[in-house]
Amino acid sequence: MRAAWVLLPALAALSAYYIYLPLPGTVSDAWKLMLLDATFRAVQQTCHLIHYLRLSHHLIVLNYLICTFDKLKSVSSEHINITDAVFDGVEVRVFEPPGKQDETLKRSVVYIHGGGWALASARTSLYNNLCRIMAESLNAVVVSVEYRLVPEVCFPEQFHDALRATKHFLQPDVLAEYSVDPNRIAISGDSAGGNLAAAVCQQLSKDEHLTIRPKLQALIYPVLQAFDFNTPSYQQNMNMPVLPRYVMINYWIDYFNGNHDLAHSLLINNHTALDVGQALSYRGRLNWTSLLPSSFKKNYKPVVQTTGKAEIIEEIPALLDVRAVPLLAENETLQLQPKTYILTCENDVLRDDGVMYAKRLENAGVEVTLDHFDDCFHGCMIFTIWPTDFSAGIQTRNSYIKWLDENL
C-alpha cells in the first residue's frame, strides 16, 4: 500500500511532465492542446518503434490508427447526399445539398485534405464533417479528393491525383451532371492539401486548353515552400503542437522519398546556401525580410549559409519544383491566379508560408484576403468534434466559410 502511494504521485508527475509544454499565453484551449499533442507524440513514438522493428512503415501504422480512431460512424446526412465516385482514376467523395425549386445551378468547392501528404482521408469524420458543413452552409456541391498517400506513392503522384480529379470535375458535362455553375467553382485545401490546391491552381491557370477555371482559391494554413526552414514562424514555433519544425521537415523528406539523414542539413538551410547555384535564382522569390510585415519578423534573423551541400538539390530536385513548392513560382504564373483567401495561425511553423504567398500574389496584382488568427494553431480547423473540439476550430471554420459565402 505504501508503495502505491509513492508510485501513483510519481506516475502523475511523470505524466504531467510528458504532457506539459510551455505555450504562448494567447493559445486558446492550451491544456487541451497539450493533451492532444502528448497523445499524438505517444502514438508517433509507437509507430516509429514498429518501423524500427521492420514490422511496417511508421506512416502506414500511424494513418491506420488515425483512421481507426476517427472512423466515420455514419455516411448518411439528413440534409446532404454523400456519395463516393471516381474522377479519372482518382477516388472522390461528393457532398450534394438538395435542389431548390428556384435554383438551377449550384456553386461548388473542390476540397483537398491535409495530413502531410501521408495521413488522413476524405472519409474520416474530421473531413467528412467539414465538407458536409460547407455543403450545407454554402448550398454548394463539395468534391473532396481522396488522393493516394505516402508511402504508397510519393511526389509528384499526389499532385497528379489532385490535378486529374479537378480537371475531370471541370469538364462541362460533369458539372452539368452535378448541376454546378461553371462560373462559381473554388479550389481549396488545408495544410498539405493547401499545398496541392495552390499547385493545382497554378497548373490550371497555365492550361490553354481549359475552358473552365476556378473562380477562387482558398488556402488554409498551407505549406508552400521547402527553401527556408528558418523563417520567423519556423524559429518562433519550432516546438509548437501539432506541427513542430522537425516533423514538417520529415513530412517533406517522406513526400520526396528522400533520405532522413538529410534532415539536419535541411533544418539549417544547407540545401539553399549561397554556393548552391541551383537555388540562387529562387532566393529573391522567398526573401522574407521584404515579404513579411515587421509584426511577424520581430527580432528574428535570416539563416543563410555561405557554403552548403549542392548534392542535396541534386539528390532531391523536387525541393525547387514549383509543383511541390508553389511559393517559388515565377511572377508570370502568379499573375494568372484567381481571387485568393489565405488563412494563417500565429502559433504555426507554416504561418510565414501563407503570409509570403499572400504578399507575392498581391504584388502580382491578385486580390487577396489574408485572414490571420493570433490565438490559433496548425490544424485547428478540423478539430471541431468531441473529444478533439477546440474553440479555434469553430472560429477559423466560420471565418473561412463566411468568406466563401461572400465571394463564391
* Known active-site residue 271: no
Cell numbers for 311, please give them.
548534392
Report d(CA 338, CA 184) in Å as an integer. Answer: 12
Whole-number Å distance between alpha carbons of 249 and 253: 6
The position carrying cell 495552390 is 198
Spatial CB neighbours of 396, under 8 Å, sequence gap ≥ 6: 220, 343, 345, 373, 376, 380, 381
d(CA 234, CA 229): 6
Q: In this structure, are strands 90-96 and 140-146 parallel, antiparallel, or unpaired?
A: antiparallel
**Contact present, 135 and 106 (Cβ < 8 Å):** no
Query: 191, 254, 271, 352: which one is catalytic?
Result: 191
**Residue 216 in contact with residue 407, Cβ under 8 Å?**
yes
Omega of the bond prior to 142 within 30 degrees of 0, cis? Answer: no
Q: Which residues pair with 369 in a beta bridge?
A: 341
Query: Is 145 exposed, middle or buried, given 0-12, 13-18 or 19+ CB atoms closer than 10 A?
Result: buried
Say which of 113, 160, 271, 378 is annotated catalytic: 378
Q: Active-site residue 348, yes or no? A: yes
Burial of 211 (0-12, 13-18, 19+ CB in 10 A): exposed
Q: Among 118, 121, 106, 117, which residue's Cα sits nearest to residue 75?
A: 121
Q: Is 137 tagged catalytic?
A: no
Kindly give the residue spans of alpha helices, DSSP state H, lying in 70-171. 125-138, 157-169
Q: Which of 190, 254, 348, 353 is flagged as catalytic?
A: 348
Amino acid 225 reads Q
361, 338 contact by CB (below 8 A): no
d(CA 270, CA 262): 9
Residues 6+ apart with CB under 8 A from 349: 233, 234, 237, 238, 240, 243, 244, 245, 248, 378
- Where in the sequence numbering do the catalytic residues fall? 191, 348, 378
